[in-house]
């Protein structure tokens, strides 16, 4: 499941080109961050992710 929208990444890069590998790697980083945030929230007895979990 892709979490990152390639067109939005390209928009954010402002004039830079993005290889397909970049977007795939970014998607993996985002997925890992969300998983770690979920673990932290669960560890604190919450079922809601908050910015502090990042």
Q: What is the mean pLDDT of the chain?
A: 95
Alpha carbon separation from 49 to 5, 10, 14, 24, 31 (Å, rounded): 21, 27, 30, 24, 14
- C-alpha dihedral sign at 42, 48, 1, 34: negative
Strand residue runs (E) in the chain: none
Q: Summarize pLDDT for 11-39 with one digit per residue, the tens.
A: 999 989 999 899 999 999 999 999 999 99
Residue 1 has pLDDT above 80, yes or no: no
Q: What is the pTM of this model?
A: 0.84
Q: Where are the domains of the chain?
A: 6-53
């Amino acid at each position: 499941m892709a979490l990152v929208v390639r067109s939005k990444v390209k928009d954010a890069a402002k004039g830079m080109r993005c290889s397909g590998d970049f977007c795939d790697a970014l998607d993996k980083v985002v997925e890992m961050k969300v998983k770690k945030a979920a673990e932290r929230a669960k560890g604190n007895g919450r079922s809601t992710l908050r910015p502090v979990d990042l």
